[in-house]
Amino acid sequence: MMRAPTFTPTYVPIHAYKARFSAPEGPNLAGTIGRVLAAGGAELAPVGGLRSAIQALSDDTAGRGRALQDRVALANLVDTHAGLQGGAAVTAQPQALDELDRIKADGQATLASPGMIAAYDQQMAPAIADAANRITGHAVQQMAVERQAVADQTMQAAQQSAAAAWQDPTRFVDGLGAVHALAVGQAGPEASVEDRANAARAAVGGAVASAVGQALAAGEPEFAAHIVGGWGDTLTPAAYQLAVARLGHAAQSQRMDTIFAQASGGDAPASALDTSPGARSPDTVAIPAPVGAAVYPLAGGRVASIGDGSDKATVRIVHPDGSSATYGGLGLASVAPGDLVTPAHVIGSAGPVMTLAAATPAGDTVDANGLLRSAGGAGTMIGSGNAPRGWDMPTVLNRIAQRQDMSPDDKALAANLAQRRMAGDQAQLANADLAAGRSVVSIAAAAPDSITQAADLPPNLTAQMTPTTLAQVDDALRDKAGAPSLPSPDNPVALRLELMQRQSPGQFAQINLAPLIGALHPQDLAQLAAGQANIAAGQMPEPAQDPRSAVLDAMALHEFTNGSSLPDETLPVIKDQAETQLRLNRIDLSDRPSIANTVSDAIQSQVNPS
C-alpha cells in the first residue's frame, strides 16, 4: 500500500514582508510616513510625528507661495526702474533698493511660522540679490549716460559760442581754441595721443561747420568761404563736401540776386553816379542807394505822373495839401498814375542814385534836403531789396535777356528765379489786399456814414491795400458821400455777384468788394461779404430759406444750364417778377421744378418777349 506524501509548508519570515514596505532611511517626510506604515500597528502610536511632518509640508508650501507673489513685485520694480533714464534712474536707485527691503519685510510679516519664513527666505534671497544688482547696474549705466550728456551739452555750448563769433576773427579763433582744449580734456589722460587729436578735430570741425552755416544764412558767402579755407581740414569728408556745395549754391544765389537787383534797378548812365552838390539842381538831393532796393514815399498822396526814360523812371506824387514830391532815379516804377499811396507803399525799385525834389502847391521848389531830414533821413525812403512790390515783369525779364555777360543757361536760371520772385510778391500783395478789403467792407457796412474817404480808414488797412485798390476805394467812398441817396437794394451789380457766388464760389471769393462800396446797398454789401467769409471758411451754403434765395438759385442754374449770362440790366426785374409769382401762387420752396418754371417764365418775358 502506497504511503501518502507528506506536505511540508514553507514560509517566509515576517521581517522579509516588512522589508517590502520599508522606506529608505532619512529625515524626509516620505521616509517617515513609510516607516510608520511599515511598522504596523506597533508604530502608529506616535501620531505627533505625522502631524509635524504634515505641518512642515504646509509651512513650506505657504512660504513658497508668498515668495512667488513677491517675486512678481520684484520684477515689476526692476522693470519700472529700467524705464528711468539719466539722472532720474540715479536718483531713484536708493528708493528702489529700500522698496526691495520693504517687499521682503511685508512678505515675512504675513507668514505665521518660522518654517514659512525659512521657506520664503530660501526662495526670495537670490531673487532680491538679482533685483538689487540689476537696479544698481542700471543706475551706474545711466550715471555714465548722464555724465556724457553733461559733457555733450558743455561741448555744444562751447561750439555754439565759437560759431556765433564767425564775424570776429579773434573771438572765433579763441573760441575754437577753447573747444579744442575742452575736447582733449573730455577724452581723458587714458586716451592715446591719436585719440585725443581725433576728438579735438571732430569737436572743432563741428564748430566750424556751424559757423559756415551761420555765415551762409546771414548772406555772407565770402565769410563762409574764408572759414572753410582756414579750417576746412577739421571737417569730415562729408561735412567738407557739404560745405563746398553750400558755398557754391550760395554764391550762385547771391549772383542771381544781384542780377535781379540790377534788372530792377536799371543800368545807370555814368552821369547818374555823380552825387556831388554841383552835379544837380540845388533844390534836388541825390541819395546813393542799393540797386533794386524798395523806395517809399515820404508822405502819402496821389501818383500824378510817371516819367520813363530808357532805363530810369520818375514818380511824381501830389499830397493832400497840393504840395508834391518827385522821386527820380528809379529803375522801375511799382505804381501807376492815379494810384493812391501811403508812406508804407513801395513806389519803385532804386537805381544806384536816387533823386528827390519837392514843390509847393504853387509850383515853387523847396529844399528837398531839408524835407528829407525832417522825414527821418534816407533810411525812411530807401528800404530792403526783399520788400514785396508790384513788378513790371516784361521789363525785368527783357533786361536779363539783354545781358552780354551771362551764358544762356545762366540767363534761363536768372529769368526763372525772377519770375518766381515777382509772382510770389504779386500773390502776397493780392492776399493782403483782399483781406484788407474785407475789413474795409465790414467797417463801411456797419457804419456807412462814418467813412467818407480813404484817409478815414485805419492806417494798417490802407497800408495793406495795393495803391490801385486804395485809389478805387477812396473814389468809391467819396462818390458815396456825395450821392443824394444809397444805391437801391438788389441792383444789377449786387445780383450779378450773387449769381457768381452760386456758380463760381472760388472766383467770387477773390473779388475785392471794397471798391464797390459806393455801388452796392450796405445790406447787399454785408451779405456778399458774409458769403465770401463762408467760402473762405469752407462752409457750404444752406438750402434756400426764402423766396429771394430760391429765385436766385434758379436763375444761376438757368445760366449754367444754358451756357450764357442774362443781361445784367434785366436781373432785378426777373428776380422781382419771379418772387411775386411764387408768392401769389403759393409755391412751396421745396418745389424746385415749379420754381424753375416760374423763373423761366420771368426770363422769357424779359429776354425774349413775344
List pLDDT tens digits, range 266-292.
764 444 444 444 445 567 899 999 999
Span 478-489, pLDDT tens digits: 988 888 888 899
Q: Can you state the angle between helices 408-446 and 522-536, rounded to 10 degrees?
A: 130
Max avg pLDDT among 88-92, 149-153, 426-430, 581-585: 426-430
Q: For residues 558 and 580, give the distance between their C-alpha atoms in angstroms, rounded to a whole number.
A: 19
Q: Which pLDDT score, from 0 to 100, does residue 325 have?
A: 95
Q: Which pLDDT score, from 0 to 100, does residue 343 have?
A: 96
Q: State mean pLDDT over 81-92.
A: 89
18 pLDDT band, cuts 50/70/90, is very low
Q: Which pLDDT score, from 0 to 100, does residue 16 have?
A: 46
Span 179-230, pLDDT tens digits: 999 999 988 888 898 999 999 999 999 999 999 999 988 888 888 999 999 9
Q: Answer yes or no: is pLDDT of 4 > 80.
A: no
Q: Answer yes or no: is pLDDT of 23 > 80.
A: no
Q: Which pLDDT score, from 0 to 100, does residue 228 have?
A: 92
Q: For residues 278 and 294, give the distance between their C-alpha atoms in angstroms, rounded to a whole number.
A: 27
Span 327-346, pLDDT tens digits: 999 999 999 999 999 999 99
Domain locations in the chain?
29-143, 188-262, 279-389, 424-538, 542-610
Neighbours of 94 (CB within 10 A): 11
50 pLDDT band, cuts 50/70/90, is confident
Q: Which pLDDT score, from 0 to 100, does residue 312 have?
A: 75
The CA-to-CA distance between both ends of the chain, in Å, stands at 164
State what percent of residues in the chain have pLDDT above 70.
89
Cell triple for residue 517? 462800396
How far does CA 436 lie from the centroid of its chain?
24
Q: Which pLDDT score, from 0 to 100, does residue 24 have?
A: 45
Please list the residues that pair with 340 across neighbouring strands: 302
Q: For residues 51 and 129, give the distance between their C-alpha atoms in angstroms, rounded to a whole number.
A: 35
CATH assignment, 279-389:
2.70.70.10
Q: Which pLDDT score, from 0 to 100, does residue 273 have?
A: 46
Report the C-alpha dihedral over residues 54, 57, 63, 64, rounded to 10 degrees.
Answer: -150
Instruction: Extract long-range pairs of 372-377: CB within 8 Å, 24+ residues apart.
Output: 372/285, 372/287, 372/298, 375/298, 375/299
Residue 292 region, left (φ>0) first, then alpha (ψ -120 to 50), else beta?
left
Span 294-324, pLDDT tens digits: 999 999 999 999 987 656 789 999 999 999 9
Compute the chain's Rg from CA coordinates: 48
Instruction: Extract long-range pairs of 528-536: CB within 8 Å, 24+ residues apart.
Output: 528/494, 528/497, 528/498, 528/501, 529/438, 529/441, 529/442, 529/445, 531/501, 532/438, 532/508, 533/438, 535/501, 535/505, 535/506, 535/508, 535/509, 536/509
Q: Report in angstroms the alpha-carbon separations of 397 from 138, 416, 528.
A: 67, 9, 39
Q: Report in angstroms the alpha-carbon separations of 255 from 417, 494, 521.
A: 11, 51, 53
Q: For residues 608 and 592, give the distance between their C-alpha atoms in angstroms, rounded to a whole number.
A: 23
Three-state SS string over 417-465 comes to HHHHHHHHHHHHHHHHHHHHHHHHHHHHHHCCCCCCCHHHCCHHHHHHC
48 pLDDT band, cuts 50/70/90, is low
Please list the residues that pair with 348 across neighbouring strands: 295, 333
Give me the chain's average pLDDT, please: 86
Longest distance between any two alpha carbons in the chain, whole Å: 186
Q: State mean pLDDT over 30-41.
A: 53
Q: How many CA atoms lie within 13 A of 508 on its CB side?
A: 22
Q: Which pLDDT score, from 0 to 100, does residue 32 have?
A: 53
How far does CA 11 lie from the centroid of its chain?
105
Max avg pLDDT among 8-12, 394-398, 535-539: 394-398
Cell triple for residue 492? 444789377
Q: State mean pLDDT over 390-399.
A: 93
Q: For residues 610 and 404, give the distance between their C-alpha atoms in angstroms, rounded to a whole number.
A: 70
Per DSSP bridges, beta strands 365-366 and 348-359 are: antiparallel
Strand ranges, E, within 74-163: none
Cβ pair 107, 67 in contact under 8 A? yes
Q: State mean pLDDT over 39-52.
A: 61
Identify which has the larger pLDDT, 467 or 313: 467
Q: Report in angstroms the alpha-carbon separations of 306 from 335, 346, 359, 448.
A: 8, 14, 16, 34
Cell triple for residue 525? 454789401
Q: Can you state the angle between helices 571-584 and 592-607, rounded to 10 degrees?
A: 140
Q: For residues 116 and 56, give the distance between their C-alpha atoms in angstroms, rounded to a whole number.
A: 9
Three-state SS string over 509-549 comes to HCCCCHHHCCCCCHHHHHHHHHHHHHHHCCCCCCCCCCHHH
Q: Which pLDDT score, from 0 to 100, does residue 277 have?
A: 44
- The residue assigned the cell 549772383 is 255
Q: Comparing C-alpha atoms, which of 580, 574, 569, 515 is closest to residue 547? A: 580
How far does CA 97 lie from the centroid of its chain?
46
State what percent of residues in the chain have pLDDT above 90.
55
Q: Which pLDDT score, from 0 to 100, does residue 267 have?
A: 60
Per DSSP bridges, beta strands 313-318 and 324-333 are: antiparallel
Span 401-450, pLDDT tens digits: 999 999 999 999 999 999 999 999 999 999 999 999 989 998 887 877 78
Cell triple for residue 139? 543706475
**Polymer length in residues for the chain:** 610
Cell triple for residue 586? 403759393
Q: Report in angstroms the alpha-carbon separations of 609 from 555, 570, 573, 601, 605.
A: 17, 12, 13, 10, 5
Q: State mean pLDDT over 51-66.
A: 85
Span 128-178, pLDDT tens digits: 999 999 999 998 998 888 888 888 999 999 999 999 999 999 999 999 999
Please give the helix or strand (H or E) that residue 259 lies within, else none.
Answer: helix 237-265
Q: Which pLDDT score, from 0 to 100, does residue 28 have?
A: 53
Q: Which pLDDT score, from 0 to 100, does residue 495 have?
A: 94
Span 223-262, pLDDT tens digits: 899 999 999 899 989 889 998 999 988 888 889 999 999 9
Q: For residues 556 and 54, give the distance between their C-alpha atoms in angstroms, rounded to a whole number.
A: 98
Q: Report in angstroms the alpha-carbon separations of 110 from 101, 104, 113, 431.
A: 15, 10, 10, 76
80 pLDDT band, cuts 50/70/90, is very high
Q: For residues 404 and 423, give the distance between their C-alpha atoms in angstroms, rounded to a whole number.
A: 25
Q: Answer yes or no: is pLDDT of 8 > 80.
A: no
